[in-house]
Structure 1
Amino acid sequence: MITSPYDKYRQSSVQTSSPSQLLLMLFDGAIRFAKTGIEGIDEHDFEKVSTFLGKAQTIVNELLTTLDRKYDVAKTLAPLYEYINYLFIQSNIKKSKAEAEEAIGYLVDLRQTFAQAAKMTAGQDLQHG
């Protein structure tokens, strides 16, 4: 049972978001969790590192498993998502920020690309609708 107003809002926003908005929310979550994992490295809080890099990995795995393989772009994205996960694993094992920061860089670039694509397709929908 959801009781907090924030949780109710969050559930409502997920249920009413378009697929492109949901995709951007996933990227935002992965980036936020990875940054929190990096904070854990700085704080020598290795439980925090493991928890939050694990959450970032879970999101990247979701992005990987939900790729629509009938599109050519999936052939490029799949190995990239796998590499991002590898970076998170290495960061967690080594307690090193460099790998997580590299992964965040890819996620930020992907998020910007998908946000731009969403704007372009939204404009086309308005023109053709």
Structure 2
Amino acid sequence: MSIQAYQNNSVETASPGELTLMLYNGCIKFIRGGKKALEQKDYAKKNEVIQKAQAIIRELMVTMNQDYAVANDVLPLYEYMMNRLIEANTKNDAAILDEVEGLVTEFRDTWKQVLLQARKAQYGTGGTA
């Protein structure tokens, strides 16, 4: 099985919670890629990967379940991160990318804990996310 086939299969068989975790991890990867491209003064690559991070934040925003009260708290933070990514991209500002990476990492780590708690509740085991 090729790496691409494995990755496709991972996405196709992932639960919605696991897909969200993959989105957070992808966003972090693209932000880090943006910082690296910025350091290398590869502005085309920086723009490309920051736009991919923005697309992930957009996806998280549109797929958020509005039935939960926490959505009212999270959506403004996603909007903030989106605006900061745009600003980082236009100003070539690595410090802003660091800030957004920190926020996305906090979301990812919190989400991992949510998945672990849900798994414990469902299966009575710890498992790993």
TM range (shorter): over 0.9
Residue-by-residue CA offset, 1:34-92 (whole Å, 9 max, x unaligned): 10011111011100110000000000000001111111110011000011111110000
Unaligned stretches of 5+ in structure 1?
none
Q: Which amino acid aligns with 1:57?
A: Q
Kindly indicate whether residue 55 of structure 2 is the aligned counterpart of residue 29 of structure 1.
Answer: no
Match for residue 123 of structure 2 among 85, 106, 126: 126
Q: Which amino acid aligns with 1:101?
A: D
1:48 match: 45
Instruction: State the aligned residue count.
Output: 124
Kindly indicate whether residue 16 of structure 2 is the aligned counterpart of residue 6 of structure 1.
Answer: no
Q: Which amino acid aligns with 1:37?
A: G
Kindly indicate whether residue 90 of structure 2 is the aligned counterpart of residue 98 of structure 1.
Answer: no
SS at match of 1:44: coil
Question: Where do residues 11-90 of structure 1 align in structure 2 (5 Å cutoff)?
Answer: 11-90=8-87
Cα distance, 1:126 vs structure 2: 1.3
Structure 1 Cα separation of the partners of residues 70 and 53 of structure 2: 22
Unaligned stretches of 5+ in structure 2?
125-129
**Normalising by structure 2, what TM-score?**
0.93
